[in-house]
Structure formats: C-alpha cells, structure tokens
Amino acid sequence: MVKKILISQPRPTSDKSPYFDIEREYGVDLVFRPFVQVEGITSKEFRQQKVSIPNYTAIVFTSRHAIDHFFTLAKELRVTIPETLKYFCVTETIALYIQKYVQYRKRKVFFGTTGKMEDLLPTMAKHKQEKYLVPMSDNHNDDIAKLLDSKKLNHTECVMYRTITNDFTPEEIKNFDYDMLIFVSPTGVKSFVKDFPNFKQGDVRIGTFGPATSKAIVDEGLRLDFQAPSKEYPSMSGALKAYLDEHK
C-alpha cells in the first residue's frame, strides 16, 4: 500500500494545487524534496555564447525554469521584449506560466498537448519563417536540435541555466522510508542513484515526468510504474491520481 510519497520538486506555493487534493482524498503523505537545484547563468556567461536575443522572433520553452531564466537574463541584459515575439511551449501549463512576465495573448502563444517536442513540431513547421531560440540547461542533449533540423527550421540552442545536485543528508538517508518516488528530471535520477548506490527497489513504486526521465530510470535498471505526460494525463498530479485509483 502506498502511504508516503517523495516528490522531487519544490512544494507547491498555491493551496489549490491538485497535489493537496490527492493527500486529502487518498490519505497519503506527500513529501516535496528537490533532488536537484536550478540556478541561472550570469549575463557574462551568456554573452560568451554570442547569442543576441533581439535577433530571434520566436522562443521555445520546454520548462518553467527556461521561462524564469530567459526573462531574468533579458532584464539583466536590458533587452526589450517586443510584443511581436512568439512563444512555443511543450505544454499549456508552461504556456500559462508566461503570464508571470508578459501579457498573455493566445495568438502569440502556442503549445502542445503531450509534453513532447514531437507534438509541438507541426505547429512550429507552420511558422517556418520564424527564427527560433531555445533556452536550455547546461546538461541538455541534441534531441531537440535534431527534431527542429528535421523540419528545416531556423533555430539556435543556448544555455540559460544549470542544474546541480541537491545531495541527501546522512540523516535523510538513514530515515528513508518511502513507498513511492516521483522523479521530474534525468539529473534528479542521477543524484538519487549517487546518494543511494545500494538502493533496492522492491515494492517501492516509481513515477516519472518526461521521456528523458523515464529513460534514465530504465537505464539504471529500475522498474518504472507510471509516467507522465500522456494524452490522458498531461500533468504529473493527474498521472499519480490515476495510479492511486487503479491500485487502491
């Protein structure tokens, strides 16, 4: 039976988060504890990449971290974001997050439904005239670049933030007693495996967000019990609720 769940992301700031509904409905204890920390690069580090934000007409966002650090860097560099700039996001949740920084206009914001870049590609291909900038983490791979190349899109990838491990303390390791672990990034998987080299999964369930995170779990020889996003469950909370429903 699942009673205590460790979720590798910060605790939601809103009381209306669906995670808190899950706690009440299923009587589970949710513990939010990031396995990694994200920090922005400096404006000096960004300039070394020789990327000029005003040269691009569209931005591709794969996470809320990317949005935060894009607008932070733009402010530090004193770049004025034109109202004509278009935003392409892998999910609607990420697209809505843009409202934190600019007035949201649906005609300039496009998003996919599954959280996978492949799902967003057809929309981007309809805007072939755009020059796309893709803010990324320092530990990204070439998958997105290859996908955009496949559609002959004009694009540039740049590093705007870095991911560092948030190591478990000896006390946390000693008192580790979770029935389920939820990972939201491949770096989080690596961090966990480093801190728990002798981890035996047994009855511990594992959920993941994102295809790269799922692959990281499988590559470590662990059993993947459920994953998001999918067409049925675009959010991690939705996938978790469905899993708990199925395994009452």
pLDDT given for residue 150 in this prediction: 95
Q: Check if the beta carbon of residue 180 is closer than 8 Å to that of residue 206.
A: yes
Distance CA 236, CA 208 (A): 8
Domains, the chain, with CATH or none: 4-35+168-246 (3.40.50.10090), 39-163 (3.40.50.10090)
Number of H helices, E strands in the chain: 10, 11
Q: Which residue has the higher pLDDT, 211 or 5?
A: 5
Instruction: Render pLDDT for 150-195 as a digit per residue (tens, 0 to 9).
Output: 999 999 999 999 988 888 999 999 999 999 999 998 889 999 999 9
**Model confidence over 100-121: pLDDT tens digits?**
998 877 679 999 887 788 899 9
